[in-house]
Structure formats: C-alpha cells, structure tokens
Amino acid sequence: MRAPLRVGILVAVLMGSGCTPAPDKPALDVLHRAEEVLVRDCMARQGFTYEPRPRTPAPDVERFPYVVDDLEWARANGYGRAERRQLEQEASSTASYYGGLPKEQQKAWLAAYHGDRASGLKADLPFGGTVGHSDQGCAARAWQDLYGDMREWFRVSRITDALGQMRVGQTSRDERYVAARKRWQECMSAEGFAAGAPLSFRIQQLEYEGADAEARDRAAAMSEARCAARSELSTVARQLDAANASALEKKYRAEYDTAERLRQAALPRARDVLTRSSDHLVSQ
C-alpha cells in the first residue's frame, strides 16, 4: 500500500513544502482535512474504515527544510519530538486497521481506496518520468469533489511537488551552501556534536529514545540554531532557496498558476465539507 500505510516522512515533507508561490499553511491544512474527510466518508460507504491522516507527520522538516535556525523554537521544542509522536500515532490508525484485515479484504480495501486499475491520471515530471494513478477509487473521487477536475489537479500537484523536491536538491548541492554547511559542521563540532548534514543529524538525534531524549533534542537543536547563524548557513540557504524558487516559478508558471487557481476554487468547498462533517459529529 502506498501513502496510507507507509509514510516517507522526509521526502514527502520536502516535496510538499516546495510549492512556489507557496500557498499559506492554513489553506493547505483546510484542503487536506477536507480531502481526508471525503476519503473517509467514501470508504465508509463501501464498508471500510479510514481515519483522516495529518498533512505531515514531520512538521519540523516543513518549518526547517535546510537547518533549524530559530533558537527560541529550538529551546521550546527541540526537534519537535512530542508533536511528531502525536501525529505519527494519528497516521498509524488506518495502517493498524488495514493490517488486521484478512488478505482478501485488504485487496478490496486497496481497490476501494486507489481504484482497481493504475491508470486514468498521469503527470509527466519535470526531471523525467511519468507518475500515474487510477481515476477510480475514493482518493480520485475526493480530488474530483474538491478540485472539480481530478486529472488537472493530479497533473499540476504532482509536477509542483516534484519541483519542490528539485528546488531543495538544487539548493543543497550549490557550492555556496556546501561551503556554509562545512562551516556549520565545524561550529557544531566546537559545540560538542559530530554532525554531517543538518537533516541527517536531526534524524540521528530523533532515533535516540532514552528518558532524556527531549532534553538532548533541545540541547542539540539550540546548538544547531546558533551554528546556523554563526556559519551563515541559514542566510545562504534562504537566499539560494529563494533564487531557485524564482527560477522554477518562472519556468513552470503555468503549472503553479493552475495549482493555485484550483486550490483557491476548492477552498469554499473544503470549508463546507468540514462544516458538514463537524455538524454530523456534533449530532452523534
């Protein structure tokens, strides 16, 4: 099973955070919640359980795709371990349900969610290759209900997500970023931490699960933030990211504009879905 059972946290968040021009987070949250409610209700009509998932189980990566550079946030949250844990638990409920189904029911669940054929929707990605998805099933039906044109939404959303991934890669490979990252590593060493790239260091820290994990997170994240300023890694990353975003926006203006147009048109429908869902829950 794809997204509902296995969440590629880092890649998914980096791709999802790469839309340019960037839609505001509250709007993204509303659209995501509405889509999940539509999928839940569609699956229920077919006799299956589906629990809405959080938009991202790693919000710290969305906030800091290159390096943690907010000292006060780091002091209060470390690497966001508590928030991650809560969101990952929310994301796992459908996986637990699916895993408990007999094999034939699992197949039926997948067909209900994805559709019974992997065709109908496709997007040619900017760095090569094509991704496809069934135009049947509850996921596609939710896109149609929300955005009014599932084919166009699938196409432009996959392209702009891929462009976000491309932008992060361009920034991270730039020689100016690499030089600043080396200075950051030297600063982290002076602070007592052996660190490679900031994101891999973060993952390494989060793998530790001792009783003092959150205190260790805060100490490491605060050092990361101090070193992000001293090394100018934060400034360099922001400047390069903005330049790469602008170039991609210019080259793929039609795709970005279409994605934003579809989002804006979908927002009233999304709010209505959430209002009706709330009314239903209150009445139970």
Q: Tell me: the pLDDT tens digits for 138-188?
A: 999 999 999 999 999 999 999 999 999 999 999 999 999 999 999 999 999
- Predicted TM-score of the model (pTM): 0.84
Determine the Cα–Cα distance for residues 21 and 241; give it in Å rounded to an integer.
Answer: 12
**pLDDT at position 24, please?**
81
122-143, pLDDT tens digit by residue?
A: 999 998 899 999 999 999 999 9
The pLDDT of residue 58 is above 90: no
Angle at 61 between CA 55 and CA 66, to 5 degrees: 145
Is 105 among the domain residues? yes
Whether the Cβ atoms of residue 151 and residue 159 lie closer than 8 Å to each other = no
pLDDT grade for 281, boundaries at 50, 70 and 90: very low
Number of structural domains in the chain: 1
Q: Which amino acid is it at 264? A: Q
Half-sphere exposure of 282 (CA within 13 A, CB side): 6
Residue 186 covered by a domain: yes
Residue type, 189: S
Quote the pLDDT of residue 3: 36
Confirm whether 1 is domain-assigned: no
pLDDT mean over 77-98: 90
Q: What is the spatial distance between Cα 85 and Cα 90, in angstroms, rounded to a whole number?
A: 9
| Digit-coded pLDDT (tens) for 177-233 | 999 999 999 999 999 999 999 999 999 999 999 999 999 999 999 999 999 999 999
Residue 3 lies in a domain: no
What's the pLDDT score for residue 15? 38
**Residue 279 scores a pLDDT above 60:** no
**Is residue 4 in some structural domain?**
no
Domain assignment present for 200: yes
Q: How confident is the model at residue 21 (pLDDT cuts 50, 70, 90)?
A: very low
- 70: containing domain: 9-283
Cβ–Cβ under 8 Å, residues 144 and 150: yes
**Residue 140, domain member (yes or no):** yes
Using alpha carbons only, how large is the chain's radius of gyration in Å? 20
The answer to whether the beta carbons of residues 253 and 261 sit under 8 Å apart is no
Report the candidate in 134, 127, 152 with the shortest Cα–Cα distance to residue 255: 152
Q: Tokens 């709010």 identify what position?
A: 271
Does residue 2 belong to any structural domain of this protein? no
Asked whether the predicted pLDDT for residue 17 surpasses 90, the reply is: no
pLDDT one-digit tens code per residue, 249-269: 999 999 999 999 999 999 999
Which phi-psi region, left, alpha or beta, contains residue 162 (left: φ > 0; alpha: ψ -120 to 50)? alpha
Q: Which residues contact 150 (CB under 8 A, 6 or more apart)?
A: 121, 135, 140, 141, 143, 144
